[in-house]
């Protein structure tokens, strides 16, 4: 697994249950190799404009992402997960999108 990969992860939901959902690897955390991830949702209406990012069917990296539907990359859904909670790799986002997402997260913390 690499930074920028879209993975299927067992994510904690608002109701306390775990469900397999897409996520994007933002970084690998040393020393244990846990993954820092962004959650991905098909609920486009939850977009925080200027912060989250929609990956639409028209996006250059949509097919490579392995996502089945237009989806919302939720920059505010940031979590650290062990690799054991990752079921597999679906695809990957472009390096340009990854840089943009990291920039949004960094700008948030630099406010």
Confidence label for 8 from pLDDT (cuts 50, 70 and 90)? very high
How high is the mean pLDDT of the chain?
93
User: Tell me, what's the pLDDT at 18?
Assistant: 86
Per the confidence metrics, is the pTM higher than 0.85? yes
CATH assignment of the domain containing 20: 2.30.30.110
Could you give the 3-state DSSP secondary structure of residue 97?
helix
| Mean local confidence (pLDDT), 78-96 | 93
Domain count of the fold of the chain = 1
Nearest to 81 by CA among 10, 22, 6, 19: 10
Q: Are 21 and 8 in contact (CB under 8 A)?
A: yes
Give me the domain span that covers residue 41. Answer: 5-109
pLDDT over 80 at 69, yes or no: yes
Reported as a single tens digit per residue, the pLDDT across 18-35 is: 889 999 999 999 888 899
Question: How far, in Å, CA of 111 to CA of 107, rounded?
Answer: 6
């Amino acid at each position: 697994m690499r930074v920028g990969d879209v993975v299927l992860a067992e994510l904690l939901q608002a109701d306390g249950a775990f469900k397999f959902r897409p996520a994007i690897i933002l970084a690998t955390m040393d020393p244990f190799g846990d993954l820092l991830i962004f959650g991905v949702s098909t609920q486009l209406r939850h977009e925080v404009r200027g912060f989250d990012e929609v990956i639409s069917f028209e996006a250059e990296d949509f097919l490579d992402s392995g996502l089945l539907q237009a989806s919302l990359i939720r920059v505010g859904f940031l979590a650290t997960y062990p690799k054991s909670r990752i079921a597999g790799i679906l695809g990957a986002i472009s390096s340009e999108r990854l840089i943009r997402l990291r920039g949004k997260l960094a700008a948030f913390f630099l406010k």
